[in-house]
Amino acid sequence: MMATPFAALPIVSRAMYSRAPRVGVRAGASSFPGATRTRATPSVVGHTRHGRRSGNDSPTHRCEAFPPPGLEWIPTPETVFDVENAAIFPFWLGMIAFPKNKVTETVMGSYAVPILLGFVYIYLTYYSFSDPRIIEAFSTGKPDLAALSKGFSYEWCMAVGWAHFIAMDLFVGRWIYLDARKNDVFAAHSLLLCLFFGPTGVISHTLTRGVTSLARGKKLPDVMSGALRPERATGAD
């Protein structure tokens, strides 16, 4: 059967066809090939619905009612990310380039820096889980890659993960630094690896202190090994 030309259709049919909505075509956009198309994403209560453009444009994750009214002054995840990255650099620089400096020894010998980073992590975690979309992403209760990928696609959640990396890497770097200072072991290369590649710095320092121990002909004590031995009371009974 031959296709019926558009002009031959009844007037009513042509009017209905012209006013019929076209799925996926933006208002005012051309229907020719190459025209920009958008696809609406599901909306969540209290959040703005955004269109997702095809091509290289990435979807945005913004909340209409987040932060809550009256708390617009709280730092955004981008601000916390930038400030945290800039603030953490001097501590690594001190351990790597100035390990015997008194300021470096005093600061890294205390728990102030790990505790401060812990508060930053708590701040980001609290606000990230105030977003119902992130709660929904992790609501499966299973630590599978699909749920993690969906949850970490939001800026707040990614900021939490980055704060986690920064805090734990610095804590491990602090152990490498203190252990190297106690045993007079070179550790600049291990600290650099820990800064950029995390666990590889631990492997590097373990190998370095092992080689140093063989060269000196004696076992090097771990800076944390004393915690496993109970203190003995001294003096006469």
- pLDDT tens over the chain, length 237 residues: 444 444 444 444 444 444 444 444 444 444 444 444 443 333 333 333 333 344 444 444 444 445 656 667 778 888 888 998 999 999 999 999 999 999 999 999 998 988 999 998 998 888 887 778 888 887 777 777 887 888 888 888 888 999 999 999 999 999 999 999 999 999 999 999 999 999 999 999 999 999 999 999 999 999 887 655 555 545 544
Q: Which helix (H) or strand (E) holds 38?
A: strand 38-40
Q: How many residues does the chain have?
A: 237
The phi-psi region of residue 128 (left if phi > 0; otherwise alpha if psi is between -120 and 50; otherwise beta) is: alpha
Q: Which helix (H) or strand (E) holds 52?
A: strand 51-53
**CB 74, CB 67: distance < 8 Å:** yes
Against a cut of 0.85, is the pTM above it? Answer: no
Name the residue among 181, 236, 176, 230 with its Cα closest to residue 206.
176
Name the residue among 63, 38, 57, 55 with its Cα closest to residue 154.
63
pLDDT reported for residue 166: 93
Residues 157, 125: Cα–Cα separation, whole Å = 7
- Count of CB atoms situated within 10 Å of the CB of 223: 17
For the chain, the helix, strand and coil percentages under 3-state DSSP, each to the nearest 5: 55, 5, 40
Structure tokens at 162: 């980055």
Structure tokens at 153: 């696609």
Provide the sign of the torsion angle of the four alpha carbons 188, 190, 195, 196, taken in this order.
Answer: positive
pLDDT reported for residue 224: 83
Residues 6+ apart with CB under 8 A from 106: none
